Chains A and B, each alone.
Chain A
Amino acid sequence: GAVVSQHPSRVICKSGTSVKIECRSLDFQATTMFWYRQFPKQSLMLMATSNEGSKATYEQGVEKDKFLINHASLTLSTLTVTSAHPEDSSFYICSARATKTSTETQYFGPGTRLLVL
């Protein structure tokens, strides 16, 4: 099946610093990638949709200047949490859509756990 990787799997940072999370589709090309966030005991919440070579589309309530998304190639998207604060601590999960299938199934990465101190 399609494989999506994320790096790092876990990161701890100080308040005010920036953190970059990478998402890669390993065995397929993905023109569209998605970023989700999940707080403890809650479901996944869509943050933004990223299309290769164009600006990301953010969901309502998600600050685009705080969560910078870059999708420079068909296999790589990055999420940068700028000036991180403790309330940004969460589980961040990326997803890539396989474009060669008729129903365009989304495949998910293993997630990145961010802890801001």
Chain B
Amino acid sequence: DAKTTQPPSMDCAEGRAANLPCNHSTISGNEYVYWYRQIHSQGPQYIIHGLKNNETNEMASLIITEDRKSSTLILPHATLRDTAVYYCIVRWLASTPLVFGKGTRLSVIA
């Protein structure tokens, strides 16, 4: 699976959009980009995933660059409850388990 690079931490003001970047320059054509988050002392929560096209659901939007070497997770209106560690994971085969890196610690500030 391709390696991902994320900033260790970010701050965001409550009510503003949180844009979390992820670099995956070695991604291959059949690898998906997944985003999960982990709120303190809880299990990871699935947010969104995509292959080539931008994706949106009730939680977030995922923007994947045309060359697929990077992506951005967007939380449109961050709340205090969005404070968590966000993990960007690239997975080659659907049958392989998710492998977690260090993620980005997002702090939403009132």
Contact = CB atoms under 8 A, between A and B. Distances in A.
Contact of A108 (B32, B45, B101): B45
Given A103-B49, A106-B46, A46 B97 contact: yes
A85 B26 CA distance: 40
A27 to B, nearest CB: 14
Interface string B63-86: 000000000000000000000000
Contacts of A95: 43-44, 97-98
A106 B100 contact: no
Interface string A100-116: 00111111111101000
B109 interface: no
Main secondary structure, interface of A, reads strand
Given A34-B97, A103-B49, A93 B43 contact: yes
B49 A111 contact: no
A43 B89 CA distance: 13
A108 B43 contact: yes
A111 B97 contact: no
B95 A104 contact: yes
Nearest to A93: B43
Contacts of B101: 43
Contact of B42 (A1, A103, A111): A111
Determine which residue in B41, B95, B97 has the highest number of CB atoms from chain A within 10 A of its CB, and name it. Answer: B97
Interface in B21-35: 32, 34
